[in-house]
Amino acid sequence: MGVLYNLRNSIEEKIKADGLDAAEIRGKIGLRTGRLMALISPSTPDDAASIAKFRQAAKEVLNLSL
């Protein structure tokens, strides 16, 4: 538990660091993964498929390897 939440945090940090449009980036990743980033909390259970989708989305949208 917590991997998805960590991934979310990494993405948020990248958005903040690069000064990107947070709503747009979160939206793009949310549409690619089928999950709303805002609803991912530390208690969100991990599943392998969602983790893989988040990593792929982060790579495609932010060119960020997680």
Partner 1 sequence: MKWNSIRTKVLAAMAACLIVGVTGTLLLLRYSFARNSQALATESVHGAQRLFGILEARETSKMVAVTEALATNPEVGAALAARDRSRLLSLTAPLYLQLKAEGITNWMFHTAEPDMSVFLRLHNPAKFGDQLNRFMDKEVSRTHATVAGNELAKAGFAVRTIRPVYDSAGHVTGYIEFGEEIGRFIHEMKTQTGDDYGLLLNKKFIDQKFWADTSASLHRRDDWNDHPTFVVADSTSASDRIIQFDGDLSAVGGNGEVLERFDSGDSVFVRGLFPIYDTSHNTVGAMFVVRDISGVYVSMRNTQRTLVALSVIGLVFGCGLVMLMLTRLVFSRLQHIIRVATRVVGGDFETEIQVETDDEIGQFEQLFDQFRRVFVNVLSEMSELQEREKV
Binding of partner 1 by 30 (CB under 8 A): yes
Binding of partner 1 by 14 (CB under 8 A): no
Given 31, 47, 59, 60, the residue binding partner 1 (CB under 8 A): 31
Residues 22, 16, 50, 32, Cα dihedral to 10°: 30
Put residue 2 in one of left, alpha, beta given phi > 0 → left and psi -120 to 50 → alpha: left
Query: Shortest gap between Cβ of 29 and partner 1 (angstroms)?
Result: 8
Tokens of 10: 């990494």
**Residues near partner 1 (CB under 8 A):** 22-31, 36-39, 41
